[in-house]
Amino acid sequence: MIDTLYSIDALGTSSAFFLALLIGLGFGFTLERAGFSSSRRLAGVFYFTDMAVVKVMFTAIITAMLGLSYLLAFGWIWIQLDQIFLMPTIYGAQIVGGLLFGVGFAMGAWCPGTAAAGLAAGRIDALVFLISAVGGSILFNEIFPWIRPLYEYGNQGVLMVYDAVGMSRNTFILVFTLIAVAAFWLSEWAEKVRTGRGPYLESLFLIIFSLVYLALAVGLFFLTPPASL
């Protein structure tokens, strides 16, 4: 059994903060080296000129999803869902919050994580964005009593997507992997149309990359997941 900081109620300890600092530094360094500390690159997503963010995010999600699924299926790690903090599904707050976040991302060309990396790289617009984000958080706290009904509207508790749409877990993983693979190809196509550059479009690498992930998603149907899944 794997104990997490969440499961042993240790998120507020000095050890947890130290680990958060190390992970944050590593994550920020990776973002900067990948070029995601530049608002120009992040804004490229909205103009279909640089789709790196989309490709990286989908790759990270399906790698983690498939990797954890296989580790659990083979019994190489043993973890219960109640040992992981899972965000509750609250439709009102998350729909409105998602729209506000999307508008802010499009206007500022930053998200909080990339803005922190941008600030570390000396970018003034990242500082302005983070100051605005802090101001927005303070404003939210001050007006919370008035918007609390929206915050609590449609609270479903912890609800998995595959349960909400009536799919088996493995079927959802396959469908999501198909969506991710389609996003890879469409991203390359969009970059080709907009900039004339699509280095991986129809390349052997992208074909093999796509087939490997699809094969891994299909392979889960031949494995029997443990009861804790």
Range of the domain at 228: 37-83+158-229
Shared-domain flag, residues 211 and 165: yes
* Degrees to nearest 5, angle at CA 83 with 65 and 158: 70
List the pLDDT tens digit at each of the 229 positions of the chain.
677 888 888 888 999 999 999 999 998 898 888 888 888 888 899 899 999 999 999 999 999 999 988 988 887 777 777 788 888 999 999 999 999 988 888 888 898 888 988 898 888 999 999 999 999 999 999 999 999 998 889 999 989 999 999 999 999 999 999 999 999 999 999 999 999 888 888 899 999 999 999 999 999 998 865 444 4
| Domains of the chain: total | 3
79 and 114 fall within a common domain: no
Considering the domain architecture, whether residues 162 and 71 belong to the same structural domain is answered as yes
Q: Mark whether 56 and 92 lie in a shared domain.
A: no
pTM for the model stands at 0.84
Q: Same domain, yes or no, for 208 and 168? A: yes
What pLDDT is recorded for position 32? 86
Residues 163 and 130 in one domain: no
Alpha helices by DSSP H, listed for 34-160, are 39-47, 52-73, 91-108, 112-120, 124-152
Give me the pLDDT at residue 111, please.
87
| Per-residue pLDDT at 228 | 44
Last residue of a domain, one of 152, 185, 208: 152
Residue with token string 């008035």: 146
Q: How many residues does the chain have?
A: 229
